[in-house]
Amino acid sequence: MDSKATVLVTGSDGFIGRHLVPYLAAVGHKVIAASRSVVIEGPNIRAARLPDLSQRFNWESLLRGCDAVVHLAGIAHTFAEDELYDRINHQATAALARAANASGVHLVFISSIAAQSGSFSDEELTEDDPPRPINAYGRSKLAAEQAIRAAGGSFTILRPVVIYGEGEKGNLATIRKISLLPVPLPFGGLKARRSVLSVQNLNAAITTAMTDPRARGDTFIVADPVPITVADLIARYRAGFGRPPRLFSIPQALLEFALKTAGQGAIWQRIGCPLVARPDKLLALGWKPS
């Protein structure tokens, strides 16, 4: 696929889409930015209306004239019934995969590390590990991956870890807000390493998935090569704000007890437990994260 490909980006109004669409346009692709709300406009960018993914519709009109589709649209960070996650993240993706196959369009599916693992893992994750999602979001993403493979078309599946960058959401957005507080924070003793991913590096991974024929028909973990601790992350955020780290240490067992007593055991899993996912397979293709 050359640098002048026409690429449909679904969910272009989301966190990733707002970074990806101008990036693809800047490197020479013609982008159809499909969303339900925000219109992204600019050179090499054309806006399109994305229907409600919870309802059945025909993808073929959106795919007409495209060489590739990057499927970002879906639901995450939302309290929803399992059935809604399945309908939007799985069934709508399955319909897109069938339509992409019929249209001869290469599908790049942005899945999630949640399709492979829970929020922590004592073992470093690779693509060879059997998937063990623990929630409706992860199960819906894994089901979508399976549907894409069954559709028989040209595809690449990317499993990013938690993503940071301007407009980030979820846990990293919370950590960024905490980092803004003008007080010392008791997280200096957190030693568990966590894999994170810059949105710019995800953009580069998507380009690799679109353009490298060796990526077709395969699944890749996407993460910055070097995992970090939550203490490292807070220090980075505060440095970006022009502030010193101002971190102090308390016993990890005490912090774990305090969070679990407050009913925040899930937060402890995300800040005090490890999750290292290795992108070696993607790096072997020549992906060049910054």
Q: Do 185 and 237 contact (CB within 8 A), yes or no?
A: no
The mean-pLDDT minimum among 102-106, 156-160, 264-268 falls in 264-268
pLDDT, position 265? 81
pLDDT, position 240? 87
Average pLDDT, the chain: 92
The string of DSSP letters for 149-183 reads HHH-S-EEEEEE--EESTT--HHHHHHHHHHHSSS
Distances (CA, A) of 99 to 30, 35, 127, 143: 20, 18, 27, 17
State how far the Cα of 20 lies from the Cα of 27, in Å rounded to an integer: 11
- Cα 182 to its chain centre, rounded Å, is 30
For the stretch 73-84, pLDDT in tens is 998 877 778 899
For the stretch 224-283, pLDDT in tens is 999 999 999 999 889 988 999 999 998 888 888 888 888 888 888 888 889 999 999 999
For the segment(s) 6-164+196-223+277-283, the CATH number from 3.40.50.300, 3.30.70.1230, 3.40.50.10490, 3.40.50.720 is: 3.40.50.720
State how far the Cα of 70 lies from the Cα of 156, in Å rounded to an integer: 10
Place of tokens 């992409």: 100
pLDDT band at 53 (very low <50, low <70, confident <90, very high): very high
For the stretch 112-134, pLDDT in tens is 999 999 988 999 999 999 999 99
pLDDT, position 1? 64
Distances (CA, A) of 260 to 24, 117, 141, 170: 43, 21, 28, 19
State how far the Cα of 168 lies from the Cα of 6, in Å rounded to an integer: 27
Q: Higher confidence at residue 189 or residue 91?
A: 91
pLDDT, position 80? 77
Average pLDDT score over residue span 50-56: 91
The mean-pLDDT minimum among 11-15, 150-154, 256-260, 264-268 falls in 264-268
pLDDT, position 79? 75
pLDDT band at 23 (very low <50, low <70, confident <90, very high): very high
State how far the Cα of 59 lies from the Cα of 9, in Å rounded to an integer: 13
Share of the chain above pLDDT 70, in %: 98
pLDDT, position 2? 60
Share of the chain above pLDDT 90, in %: 70
pLDDT, position 3? 61
Both structure tokens of 47: 């806006």
CA angle 102, 157, 48 (to 5 degrees): 55
pLDDT, position 271? 83
Domain map (residue ranges) of the chain:
6-164+196-223+277-283, 170-192+228-271
pLDDT, position 59? 95
